[in-house]
Amino acid sequence: MSRLLEVKGLETRFFTQDGVVHAVNGISYHLDEGETLAIVGESGCGKSVGVMSLLRLIPQPPGKITGGEVWFGAGEDRKDLIRLSDEEMRQVRGNRIAMIFQDPMTSLNPVLTIGYQISEALMLHMGMNKEAARQRAAELLELVGIPNAAERLDDYPHQFSGGMRQRVMIAMGLSCNPQLLIADEPTTALDVTIQAQITDLVKRLRDDIGMAIIWITHDLGVVAGLADRVLVMYAGFIVEEAPVKELYADPRHPYTIGLLGSLPRLDETRAHRLTSIEGLPPDLIDLPHGCPFHARCAYRIEKCAAENPPLEPIAPGHKVACWVDVRTVKDPHKSAKVENA
C-alpha cells in the first residue's frame, strides 16, 4: 500500500488570557491507503485538535498551528496541507478528506432539509445539477441503511433519531468518495447497540469503497475489531504506536497499560478488579519538563521527572515513549514509592 498521509512534527497552540495551551506537541505519524488508524486517549489529550489541525479547522484566534507539515496524496498530487491557500484547502475538505463529528445534532443545520445538506457538497465538489445531486443523496441514505431513503430527503434533522442522524453524517462524509474519512468519536452520544451498528456500517463501507479511516475515540474496546494500527495520545504527545493486536497483547507504555486495565473483559473472572489511573492529567499551560505522565505513573524513575522520552521503535511497527522497560518491573507501585522517598 502506498502512503496517503504523513504528519511531521505537528504543533498546535491556543493563546488564551491564562497562558499558552500546548494542545498538540510535535506529533508525527503516517497513514497508508485503505488503512484504518485509531487515535485513543482520555478527554483533553489532543486527539480532536490534532485531526482538526490536519483540515485547518482550528479557530484562529485563539488557536494557531505553530509548526509541522501534513503531506497528503501521492506522486505529483502530494501536497503539504498546512501551506495550501484557503481556496485550495476548501477543495480538499469534504471532497478528498471528509470528517464525521461527535454530535450530529450540532453538526447538521436544523433549518435545512437532509436532502439539501447532502446535495450541497455534491453540487459544489462533483459539479452535479440539483436533480442529479438529489438522486445521489437518496442513494447515499440507502447505502447507510436509512429506510425509505427517497421519502426522507425532505425531512429535517429533528425528525431523525440520534443513530439515524449519525448515519446521515456518514452519508454526507461519503458523498464525494473521499480518500480519507476522519471519524471524531462518532459513537460517543449513542447507546451501545447503535454504537455497534455504526461501527459495523463504517467497517463495511471501508471494505466496499477502499477509503482510509482515522477513528478517534477514548474507548479502546471500540477499536479492537476496527483498526489496523493504534496511536495512544497523552497531554498532546503520542506515547505509544503499535499494530492493534500487538498493542492489546504487549502494551509497553504505563498509560496504555492503565487504559487496558480499566477495560472490562469477558475472559476474566468476577474476582478480577478493574484498575484506575490515579491523579489528573497535567496542566497544558504549564507542562512538566519531564514525561507528562510522570506524576501518575507507577513505573516512574528519577529520570522521568527530568527528561521527556522520545517516541522510539522497540519492534517492527511498535514505538513507545518511555524510559522504563515495563516488562522488567515486578512491582511497579513499590518502585514508585522508592523514587518518591
Residues of the chain with pLDDT under 70: 1, 104-105, 189, 264-272, 330-341
Angle at 13 between CA 302 and CA 102, to 5 degrees: 100
Taking CA atoms, 244 is separated from 63, 85, 192, 250, in Å, by: 32, 36, 22, 10
Question: In terms of C-beta density within 10 A (0-12 exposed, 13-18 middle, 19 or more buried), how is residue 127 classed?
Answer: exposed
Alpha carbon 8 to its chain centroid, in Å, reads 16
Query: How far is the C-alpha of 141 from the C-alpha of 174, rounded, in Å?
Result: 10
Which residue bears the cell 505513573? 297
**pLDDT score at 341:** 39
DSSP-assigned letters across all residues of 79-101: EEGGGS-HHHHHHHBTTTEEEE-
**pLDDT score at 1:** 65
Query: CB neighbours (10 Å) of residue 263?
Result: 13
**pLDDT score at 161:** 85
Q: For residues 278 and 264, is the Cβ–Cβ distance under 8 A?
A: no
Q: DSSP secondary-structure letter at 158?
A: G
**pLDDT score at 328:** 84
Proportion of the chain above pLDDT 90, given as a percent: 44
Which residue bears the cell 503531506? 71
Alpha carbon 3 to its chain centroid, in Å, reads 18
Q: Is 326 helix (H, G, I), strand (E, B) or coil?
A: helix
**pLDDT score at 63:** 92
Backbone phi, then psi, for 103, in 5-degree steps? -115, 105
Q: DSSP secondary-structure letter at 145?
A: T
Residue 83 φ/ψ region, left for φ over 0, alpha for ψ in the -120 to 50 degree band, beta for the rest: alpha
Question: Pairing relation of β-strands 237-243 and 312-315?
Answer: unpaired
Q: Is 50 helix (H, G, I), strand (E, B) or coil?
A: helix
**pLDDT score at 268:** 60
pLDDT tens sequence across 292-312: 999 999 888 889 999 999 999
Cis peptide bond prior to 157, omega within 30° of 0: no
Please tell me the pTM assigned to this model.
0.87
Q: Where are the alpha helices (DSSP H) in 108-159?
A: 114-125, 130-143, 149-152
Query: How far is the C-alpha of 103 from the C-alpha of 129, rounded, in Å?
Result: 30
Q: Which residues have CB under 8 Å from 235's CB, separation 6+?
A: 25, 45, 46, 281, 282, 284, 287, 292, 293
Amino acid at the residue 287: L
pLDDT tens sequence across 235-261: 999 999 999 999 999 999 999 998 888
| 80, three cell numbers | 503539504
